[in-house]
Amino acid sequence: MKDVISFIAFLCRVFLIVTSTVFYASLSLILGFSGMRSAYFIFARQWSSVLLKCAGVKIHKQGMEHLHPMQRRIYVVNHTSYFDIPIILASIPDNVRIMYRKNLERIPFMGWSLAASPYIGIQREHARNAMRGIDEAVNSVSNGESVVIFAEGTRSKDGRLGPFKRGAFLLTSRSGKQLIPIAIAGAQTIMPKDQLRFYPGTVSMTILPPIEPLQEMNRDQEAALQQTVHDMINAALPPNMQSRVKEFS
């Protein structure tokens, strides 16, 4: 009986999430075609908050004092779940552009909304396309918008922190903007990879002290920054999420 009640509650949550997603995605499509860029960020934050509430997800936030108003920056985040995106959007009081894989645009409504959004879609397997994404991100932070990058490039299979890709640190070098590492823990239990079902729960988000990088760093300096940020995020995660290896690609 308990399992039946749990499944019915899950279906009710799914209905609320789908309804709210269709509503906000439709608004986003309209905004995307009309060019109302600033309004898109507002609705994205609202949709994220509604989605998390419908899913029964609570966020325990630490380090919010590191976010100073009116300062644009690059957020580097670990990635374990599709819920990471709404967690970031609902928690950070900033107009952020997320760099995402273009294959997410195939998802009905949410993907269509991404395609019409000011977010940055990239195809990692095509180097030229990925560099265009970096160029767009550099222009973005130069023009008053922050950027979020999931530094591993894809969701972790086992919840542990994986190797970082170079993109976030190349962007930091080229833009000279402040970098803020963020550690998210618990999202992988909300919606495990390769599962369609999600579960209510609490996620912790730790915003770590900002890093002021050198502009136009050489590859050795980029690699050193990459190691530093990986170590910071790794140390902020619980032991069962910490990396087993220290290698980058």
Distance CA 116, CA 61 (A): 30
Instruction: Tell whether the model's pLDDT for residue 249 goes beyond 50.
Output: no
Per-residue pLDDT of 144-164, as tens digits, reads 778 899 999 888 888 899 999
Q: Are 169 and 225 in contact (CB under 8 A)?
A: yes
Q: Would you state the pLDDT for residue 129? A: 58
CATH 3.40.50.970 for domain 57-241: no
Among the listed ranges 7-11, 128-132, 224-228, which one has the minimum average pLDDT value?
128-132
Instruction: Tell whether the model's pLDDT for residue 214 goes beyond 70.
Output: yes
Q: What is the pTM of this model?
A: 0.87
Instruction: Tell whether the model's pLDDT for residue 16 goes beyond 60.
Output: yes
pLDDT band per the 50, 70, 90 thresholds, residue 5: confident
Q: Would you state the pLDDT for residue 104? A: 74
Distance CA 22, CA 181 (A): 32
Burial class of 30 by CB neighbour count within 10 A (0 to 12, 13 to 18, 19+): middle
